[in-house]
Structure 1
């Protein structure tokens, strides 16, 4: 696609003024803020990390700031040189929780749980770093069909987490109470109404505003306490591997599979970013930019694990902000990075966010996780779904979601098998990859016979 700077107020290499850059950066921060902090809030709540959550939120924001700067700056070819906002990835959530439960099952406390999570995420990042150099070959294995199946499985498997929070949270004494359902429903309805607004900025901030509405109502209901804020330090100091470093193969393998999938997902996000930034989407410059961006994704995830945060990825929602604002200048990325870093510098922000009631968080995450599943379905809808594709989808969803719904099916298997294949994402992903590789593709001109409801044969040529 030829560059058309006239379509943009500020093209890629322009330098907007401080006021313009700050305003555009705020829109990006609003679009990505909830996505950055939510995985940490969920992991901390489900695994009982308690007092560690404010620090973990601070680290998530600070790492996202540094990672966004690297993407925009692209030093030594590491990064895209565009506004590719980096944030904590939802794709890893189920696998990270599984790793946490492995450590917890061995009698480990919060520090042992975090040690294992960050250890396997750190080593898993090498998968994406290596794959970034072989993207042209990887596309033959990880097709849109495989990617769509995995992303759909990720969204569906996480919906249970969102619904659990909406009802009050895991093992909550008031689980499913009318108050919890009302509060979660209020946030859900608020997000829907705000998202349908004709004002683009309100739509952009619908999840943030929905959380604010729920937070205020919860405060009037007496569900919020700020007693923990007094004990928090003034400044969060990044400490490499603050909780130690440990490893477990059963925890590592599902993480490695997700790194494989996010490699392709990030390629799609970078391509979309190139389109809205009026940059080429083919040729040497484009491939260099994609390789640098995916390499930065892997290095940023390694950096995240080093400084006690979950893996990072390129956020697709920020491409919409570029389109809305007309600001594609990569220099705005520096402002975004600075804002995220400063937000993470103060643990009190994490302490306040930790007090978001579970039903409020659940009302928002239910939409977010549903959006992930919808994105996967959208990818699948772009494919020609012939008999081969439908068979791959059927087996992948059947095995993946079957393991999620009936985890007892693996009760007689070794622990490592239970940990790896107990994940809907891993099972669905591996099934899709293997079947896509071994099943022969159908001939382009093959005719399929479809029987109508009147049992009369209807002939349809497969494209």
Structure 2
């Protein structure tokens, strides 16, 4: 039904009152306004992984098209997640976007192909072929996610997420200094430009108005780009050659498979569903939906299944794996609009943006120091999210041993790759990834080291039906409802 017109002027209260409930149908005006806020809050996160992969792997002319496809499939995925097609989709106002969690393993896969003398087209064919196959790991995993939580526990998840962020810090710092292979790497003007972006993001996070905090990263990138333009670091001359429209073409660059590249990516497809579970739980709470019982469990399974299907669709249309974003949970709180029908407008905006490669071409002109200043915060935030999960899991002697060994191995092979130089090539490529060796270490140690009876009982109780306290922890982990206690579902 359509809510009364005067409700659009109301503001949500501290008790999380919603102007539009999950199944309400807002009028076109309020719906578009809410949708634009979701897009602005998530836009940078959607396109940044593609920009980084394109820059680091030297994909050059293909980057505008890849950015277009990232926006296009994000729109399609958002529609599927909210619309719920058969068993696929949570039916919540969830925005789908390119996942940062896969960035390090995708870069590793690209370097494997590049090291063999592969062209940019060969690199992309392998990345998308491997991601397409690996997405079915998550599709299958979605049907057993509650049972496998004894294996993929919070200490395992926290360790891997922490490694994801830490292993990417080098990428951000290199961009801040000027980018891989830059002749002026480390120049003072590069570091100063990155510092300005960092300072703007920090400054806007001091404001009480949540709209400014949600827009801090995009404002920082805009300010940095304007300064870079004034310094002559941006040249728009090449934009005239960019085609007017991007036509989505399934496997435009071909399809290739590499087992060595597949294994690390498959491991991440076992981890990101657990992040999605937390995001969907927080979204359910904010949307005043149950956070336990059959409906909740069905939403979790269907939402994770949608993540897997959307990632397969993303690979088909030449984009990186997708996941459910947490940014839009904050937008729901800000606007008081939880209607899943708003997701249709979000999807339409993203698909429309994705059809015009000029968007990607302009973003590609963004100097590396500007991008690095923003991604340093993003990657650091990923690492801190892992630390938060570890803190909630408890750092008893057993957990500390798991974390210490796993992070030590992960950062060890990242810092001293020569340590595996005498290993067979396949082993070196697989365990040369800090994510892979850290994940395998955490999972094996978690299974091998006995847990105390109280911890085992708690994990067993949470396997089939997560309780309200779990939802609170997930909400706090995502940094939502700052300083407030969530209200129980009526």
Same fold (TM over 0.5): yes
Asked if structure 2 preserves the Cα contact closer than 8 Å seen for 1:72 and 1:82, the reply is yes
What secondary structure sits across from 1:75 in the alignment?
coil
| CA displacement at 1:444 relative to structure 2 | 4.2
Q: Gaps spanning 5+ residues in structure 1: where?
A: 446-463
Q: Which of residues 128, 135, 145 is equivalent to 1:118?
A: 128
Q: Is 2:147 the counterpart of 1:147?
A: no
For 1:458, the equivalent position in structure 2 comes to none
Instruction: Compute the displacement of 1:425 (Å).
Output: 1.1
Q: Secondary structure at the match of 2:393?
A: coil
* Map of 1:295 onto structure 2: 305
Name the counterpart of 1:366.
Answer: 376
In the TM superposition, what whole-angstrom CA distance separates every residue of 1:380-408 from its partner, at most 9, and x where no partner exists?
Answer: 11122211111101111111111111111
User: Deviations along 1:27-78, whole A, 9 cap, x unmatched?
Assistant: 1101110001000000000010000000000000000000000001001021
Residue 413 (structure 2) aligns with: 403
Structure 2: how far apart are the matches of 1:239 and 1:255? 23
Shift of 1:320: 1.1
Q: Deviations over 1:234-290 (max 9, x none)?
A: 110000000000011110000000000011111111111111111111111111111
The verdict on how the C-alpha distance between 1:5 and 1:363 changes in structure 2, with shifts beyond 3 A counting, is closer
The separation in 1 between residues aligned to 2:158 and 2:377, in whole angstroms, is 19
Q: Secondary structure at the match of 2:145?
A: helix
Q: CA deviation at 1:415?
A: 1.5
> Contact between 1:236 and 1:346, CA under 8 Å: does it hold in 2?
yes
1:38 counterpart = 2:44: no
The answer on 1:175 being equivalent to 2:185 is yes
1:102-132 CA distance string (max 9 Å, x none): 1111111110000000010000000000000
- CA distance in 2 between counterparts of 1:378 and 1:44 reads 31
Q: Could you list the per-position Cα deviations for residues 71-108 of structure 1 after superposition, in whole angstroms to 9, with x for gaps in the alignment?
A: 01001021010111000000000110011111111111
User: Could you say which residue in structure 2 is the equivalent of 1:315?
Assistant: 325
Secondary structure, aligned partner of 2:150: coil
Provide the aligned length of Structure 1 versus Structure 2. 442
- Say if 2:292 is the partner of 1:265: no
Q: Distance in 2 between matches of 1:308 and 1:337?
A: 18
* Structure 2 residue matching 1:87: 3-state secondary structure: strand
CA distance in 1, matches of 2:143, 2:15: 30
Partner SS for 2:118? coil
Report the counterpart of residue 134 of structure 1 in structure 2: 144
Counterpart of 1:345 (choices 348, 355, 366) is: 355
Moved over 6 A (4+): none
C-alpha distance in 2, partners of 1:61/1:135?
A: 28
| 8 Å CA contact retained: 2:96, 2:325 | yes
For residue 224 of structure 2, the aligned residue among 192, 214, 226 is 214
Within 2, Cα distance between the matches of 1:427 and 1:26?
40
Q: CA deviation at 1:6?
A: 7.8
Q: 1:55-134 to 2 correspondence within 5 Å?
A: 55-134=65-144
Alignment of 1:364-443 (within 5 A): 364-443=374-453
How far, CA to CA, are the matches of 1:87 and 1:443 in structure 2? 39
**C-alpha distance in 2 between matches for 1:263 and 1:444:** 26
Using the size of structure 2 for normalisation, the TM-score is 0.89
Residues in 1 aligned to 2:175 and 2:222: alpha-carbon distance in whole angstroms: 17
